[in-house]
Structures are given as C-alpha cells and as structure tokens.
Amino acid sequence: MTAYFPGSAGNVLTEFDLPRDARIDAVIARTAFERPTLVLDTALVAENYRALSDGLGHAVIHYAVKANPAPEIISTLVREGSGFDAASRAEIELCLSQGARPDRISFGNTIKRAADIAFAHGVGIDLFAADAEEELEKIAQHAPGARVYIRVISEPNGADWPLTRKFGCASDRVIPLLNHAAALGLDPVGLSFHVGSQTRRAAQWAGTLDQVAGLWHAARAEGFALSLLNIGGGFPAFYGDEIDAPTEYAAQVMALVTERFGHVPHVMAEPGRGMVADAGKIAAEVLLVSRKSETDLHRWVYLDIGKFSGLAETTDEAIRYQFETARDGDDTGTCILAGPSCDSVDVLYEKRPVQLPLTLRAGDRIVIANCGAYTSTYASVGFNGFPPLDLMVI
C-alpha cells in the first residue's frame, strides 16, 4: 500500500512510516463535506481480512454483511476470497451483484421470510441457520434438502455487549431440532453460536466453547455426523479499551476450538465489526456548544450527527467512540455530547461525559474514529429531515 501523508505535498511514503488511517485522514483534511460522511478505506478491509484469515487457519470467513453493506466492501472481500453471512434477500442480492458465488453465501438469519428462503434456494444458496421447528419447516418447504445448522443460545461470558436470548435454542432443544431437520429431509450439518458482540479478549471464548462442545459431542454420540461448526462473530474493534490484535486473537480462538472439538472439517467465522470498524471515520461538525445554567459543570456539545443518523450504537452508551478535532492539545473539559434532532433520546454520552477542548465551538469539524461498522445502515431515512449518513469510499 502506498499512501499520501496529509500536508506532505504529494511525497510518497511507505505504509511503515504512516498510521493505518493516514489515507482517510488525508481525504478528510482536504474535503469540505456538506453533511456527516463516513470515509471508508477498502485497503484496510483487505488488510483486516488477511490478518483474521492468518489467525483462523482452516476456518473460513463469512463476512457479516450487516456490519457494513457498502458494495465496495463486498467486492473487495470477494477478491480476497471471503464468504458472506447474509441476513436477508437484499443482502444476498448485493453479494451476488458483487461477484460472490452462491456456495460462499450462508443465510444466517434464524428469522427468514418464507419467500426469501425460496429466493435463496433458487439462486443456489444451500446453507441456512435455524433455531426452531417452524423455521426448519419453512426451509424444508422452500429449500428442500438444504444443509442447516442449529443455532444454540450461549451463556454470558463477559462480552462488552452480550446478546439476549433472541437467537438460538436452549441446550435441551438441540437434539430434537436435529432430529426434526432430518425427518423433514434436510441435512443437519452442524451447530452455530455467538459469543457476543465486541468480545475483547480471545480467552473470553472458553466458557461458551465448553458449553457448545458438550452439545456437539452429545449430538455426535446420538449419531449425527456433524461436520460444520459456525463460531459466529464477536471479533472486536478498538473503541478506547485494549483488545487483542486480530491475528493473535483469531489464532487463540481456533486453538480453544481445537482443544474442545478436535478437528472439525468445516469451521466458519462471521466477523463484521472486527473486519470493518477501523476502516472508516466519520467527518462531522459541531453545531452548538452551550451551558444550561450559570453553575453547570459540564458543557453540552451538539453535533450534526446523532443516534438517528449513524451513531445508533451509542444507545445505553454501549459503544464509546473516540473523537479528534483540530483543537486537540488545547485544555479540555467534560462535555455531554448530543445529536442534532429534536428528540430528547438523541443524547450520545451523558452518564460518562467525554473530554473535549474548551476552545471547541460551532462550525468546528469533529472526526469520529473507528466508525466503519454499524453506522451507515443504522441511519434513519430522514428523521427530523436530516439525511442519512453519507458514504465516501477511497
């Protein structure tokens, strides 16, 4: 990768001289944006794919398209050799349009519209997730003979964002569902689970893997020739708290898997956040800085982007983004950060305020780091008349 350093008047530097996001910073520095814009560098997506692949060994990546469905990301990953985890018909169509082969696409949503199953089957997709009888029946009817994996509920493990029980079945349902699948003429090939979004340390996978391995071996003892283990996502991104580096993280997860499962012929991993979060930054603007009363300790800082235009993951202050301004280095003070809409819910950080320069004022640019995942598509179509997050791919 060759990159230009901002302000370096075009001198070519090598990647070793530069921070990874130098290309993004350069584009943001020289561009006047009309509205909040996610600037995305697909070269970083390719780097992340390789880093994760290196650690995952024989496990294959099915990129979780929902994390960021930008066509340029999909085509980059097709070139890198990635598979894809699709949540809907529209995501399947997107992957196919960017050159993905149907046998590299899995339909991983456990809640599928019957017509979408039929569509997927029609275009040649043969691998489906399920966690309930009725879902298996829909698959058997609309994709007869398809391979299915059963998603199991995993127990809490300390992920930053543990999943609820929305997806997966309890342990006592696994054998009945495998039996039901076989009885319906489907091919029950394996199990899947999810450790929880943003699991920052590989070691945190151990408990969940213990649990699923118990179910795996029990199913094999019952005579099911399971051959596919889908380890899902959970691969972390940097949001201020330390994380394991991607290659080491993936290798350690696979070592934990092999310890418990032995050699599994087909292992799938579904990174989303871990693949694209650090490949994008949002260029935004300060709209207002104010104090509510004469005695207020905190300033309120209002941005032109908020919960309804890209930063939905600030709900409950779960994901803590990092901010950069041209005034970094000036003295800082605590701020409550809020979005531009006339909605009182549209406050980003209040319980744990952020530190920003005291000199910050309306009209200043503010750059939000590591925003490549779960931003652009979370944006509303136009709440309060504000447009969705714009996207610039470099």
72-91: which residues touch a copy of itself (CB under 8 A)?
86-91
Helix 114-123 to helix 133-142 angle (10° resolution) is 40
Binding residues for a copy of itself restricted to 245-304, rule: CB under 8 A: 285, 287-296, 300, 302, 304
Stretch that binds a copy of itself, among 2-10, 182-190, 324-332, 380-388 (CB under 8 A): 380-388
163 binds a copy of itself (CB under 8 A): yes
Radius of gyration from C-alpha coordinates of the chain: 22
Nearer to a copy of itself by Cβ, of 119 and 261: the residue is 119
All residues at 6 or more sequence positions from 312 whose CB lies less than 8 Å from its CB, including other chains: 374, 375, 378, 379
Residue 20 or 298 having the CB closest to a copy of itself = 298
Tell me the H-state helices in 57-183.
71-80, 89-97, 114-123, 133-142, 174-183
Q: What is the per-residue binding string for a copy of itself in 334-363, x denoting contact by CB under 8 A?
A: ----x-xxxxxxxx--x----------xxx
User: Is 166 or 352 the residue whose CB approaches a copy of itself more closely?
Assistant: 166
Q: Which is nearer to a copy of itself, 1 or 114 (CB)?
A: 114
User: 32 to 71, contacts with a copy of itself by CB under 8 A?
Assistant: 64-66, 69
C-beta closer to a copy of itself: residue 271 or 340: 340
Question: Interacting stretch for a copy of itself, rule CB under 8 A, among 199-207, 276-284, 333-341, 364-372?
Answer: 333-341
Shortest Å distance, C-beta 235 to a copy of itself: 15
Give residue for tokens 């050699």: 263
Residue type, 188: P
Binding status of residue 94 toward a copy of itself by CB under 8 A: yes
Q: With contacts defined by CB under 8 A, name the span among 12-20, 21-29, 109-117, 324-332 that binds a copy of itself.
A: 109-117
CA angle 222, 227, 232 (to 5 degrees): 110
Of these, 153, 276, 319, 354, which contacts a copy of itself (CB under 8 A)? 153
CB of 239 to a copy of itself, least distance (A): 17
**Catalytic site positions:** 342
Residue 51 and residue 248: Cα distance in Å, rounded? 9
Residues 135/136/138/143 CA torsion (nearest 10 deg): 130
Q: Which two tokens stand for residue 55?
A: 């650690």
* φ and ψ at residue 102, rounded to 5 degrees: -60, -30
- Give the SS3 label for residue 38: strand
Interaction of residue 109 with a copy of itself, rule CB under 8 A: yes
Interacting residue with a copy of itself among 114, 123, 218, 245 (CB under 8 A)? 114
User: Does residue 393 interact with a copy of itself by CB under 8 A?
Assistant: no
**Shortest distance in whole angstroms from residue 26 CB to a copy of itself:** 26
Closest approach, Cβ 357 to a copy of itself, in A, equals: 15
- Residue window 179-198: x/- pattern of binding to a copy of itself, with contact defined by CB under 8 A: ------------------x-
Q: Is the dihedral of CA 77, 82, 83, 85 positive or negative?
A: negative
Q: Closest CB to a copy of itself among 5 and 383?
A: 383
Q: Show the tokens assigned to 347.
A: 């406050």
The answer to whether the beta carbons of residues 270 and 64 sit under 8 Å apart is yes
Smallest gap from Cβ 270 to a copy of itself, in A, equals 10
Q: Which residue number, 23 or 375, has a Cβ lying nearer to a copy of itself?
A: 375
Of 62, 104, 112, 142, the one binding a copy of itself (CB under 8 A) is: 112
Q: For residues 4 and 383, which CB has a smaller minimum distance to a copy of itself in the complex?
A: 383
Contact track, a copy of itself, 216-245, x by CB under 8 A: ------------------------------
Choosing from 21, 131, 160, 278, the residue that interacts with a copy of itself (CB under 8 A) is 131
The 10 Å CB-count burial string (b at 16+, else e) for 277-315 is: bbbbbbbbbbbebeeeeeeeeebbbbbbbbbbbbbbbbe
Smallest distance from a copy of itself to CB 391, Å:
11
Q: CA 75 to CA 46: how far, in whole Å? A: 10
Tokens of 95: 């992957």
CA–CA gap between residue 301 and residue 207 (Å, rounded): 41
- 247-251, long-range: CB within 8 Å, 24+ apart, which pairs? 247/51, 247/52, 247/54, 247/55, 248/55, 248/202, 249/55, 249/201, 249/202, 250/51, 250/52, 250/53, 250/54, 250/55, 250/56, 250/59, 250/202, 251/54, 251/55, 251/56, 251/57
